[in-house]
Amino acid sequence: MKKILDKGGTPVFTTYAVEIGDSLWSAVYDYVRKQWPDPNDDWCSLYRVDGIFEENNQKFAVLQERSSLKYYRLDFSVDEPNGFVPATELVEVTATYVPAEEPQFSEEAVAAYVDARRAEETPAEDPEPEEDPAPAEDPEPAPVSDPEPAPAEDPEPEIDSEPEEQPVSYNLNDIPEYIELQSQFANAQSQIAQLQEQITQLTTANAELTSFKLGVERQQKEELINKFYMLSDDDKKDCVEHIDTYSLDDIEAKLCVICVRNRVSFDLDNHESAGQPATFNLNSINVTKDQAMPAWVQKVKEVAKNSHI
């Protein structure tokens, strides 16, 4: 062993105690047969089990490929909870493995084991029923008239012996993802309903505020139009008809321009006369300290000053 380790050479493995037919042998053989089956025989494999060994507490089987005669190593483990657990890949060991003069498992013993397994698991065929002996020939019967041929019977329709596959049904309530999506959808619907209710409330409040605002503005516009008492109804007709369209400043500006165009005269001296409106002369107006000039008159003066009429 020291020479082998120092200089290299063929490794020596410990032969694992396995007999043909025991549980470990059956597990190894069945795995190799199912993993690499022989296309010409379901009970054979493309590999034969040459031996089962152990090295450094690692159990493995050496397989020989029947066509190329190359050797491969299949590692595996065996324990009570998991049973036989093979590795996923084979490792070629043709260069390092030297088979024993007498193989651990002879071909004859393996063939006997396979034949016994095949006989146990192959169902026995029912024997064919024996044919009844031919009846003795009767003497020639008397000639009879030919009977009418029987009508041909319709062949019975073939019935499919295989039952139809029933569709597989699923219960969506058993799927956690579906239940979670249902919960999210219900929450989203609740939030949408709340938002729609808030929108309705805000729309109603906005309509009320808009109506109140328009009412206040309309009242202010009517009061402004009434202040221009010196103008006729025809002069104020456009502003009255478009009172909801024109702004307060627009109405004031239009009425002031009409006053300037009509050359309305304002005289403060006649303001105190009973039933007489106050008039002002825009060209020569003298307002004392105690007198107050209305704001709209000041507006008219500004319009007159900036107007080229």
Quick check: 288 pLDDT over 60? no
**pTM of the model as a whole:** 0.38
Q: Could you tell me which residues come within 8 angstroms of residue 230 by beta carbon, excluding any fewer than 6 positions away?
A: 259, 264, 266, 277, 279
**CA gap 86, 305 in Å, rounded:** 110
For residue 137, what pLDDT is reported?
A: 59
- pLDDT over 70 percentage in the chain: 69
Mean pLDDT of the chain: 79
SS3 301: helix
pLDDT of residue 201 exceeding 90, the answer is: yes
C-alpha distances out from residue 231 to 132, 159, 264, 292, Å: 138, 107, 8, 21
User: How large a percentage of the chain has pLDDT more than 90?
Assistant: 32
pLDDT for residue 275:
46
pLDDT of residue 152: 58
Distance CA 149, CA 152 (A): 9
pLDDT at 276 over 80: no
Encode burial over 275-306: b for 16+ CB neighbours within 10 A, e otherwise: eeebebebeeeeeeeeeeeeeebebbbebbee
* Span 150-163, pLDDT tens digits: 555 666 656 556 66
> What angle do the packed helices 295-306 and 248-261 form, to 10 degrees?
60
The string of pLDDT tens digits covering residues 91-115 is 999 998 888 888 888 888 888 988 8
SS3 54: strand
The reported pLDDT for the residue numbered 102 is: 82
Cα 125 from Cα 115, distance rounded (Å): 17
Flag whether pLDDT at 292 surpasses 80: no
Mean pLDDT, to the nearest integer, of 214-226? 91
Confidence of residue 147 (pLDDT cuts 50, 70, 90): low
Mean pLDDT of 16-36: 89
The per-residue pLDDT for 100 is 84
pLDDT tens-digit profile of 49-83?
A: 999 999 988 999 999 999 999 999 999 998 888 88
**Strand 37-38 to strand 71-79: parallel, antiparallel, or no bridges (unpaired)?**
unpaired
> 4-8, 146-150, 223-227 — which is least confidently predicted?
4-8
For residue 144, name the pLDDT band (cuts at 50, 70, 90).
Answer: low
pLDDT one-digit tens code per residue, 225-275: 998 988 899 998 999 999 999 998 999 998 999 998 888 765 544 444 444
Ramachandran quadrant class, 194 (left: phi over 0; alpha: psi -120 to 50; beta: rest): alpha
Q: What is the pLDDT of residue 81?
A: 85
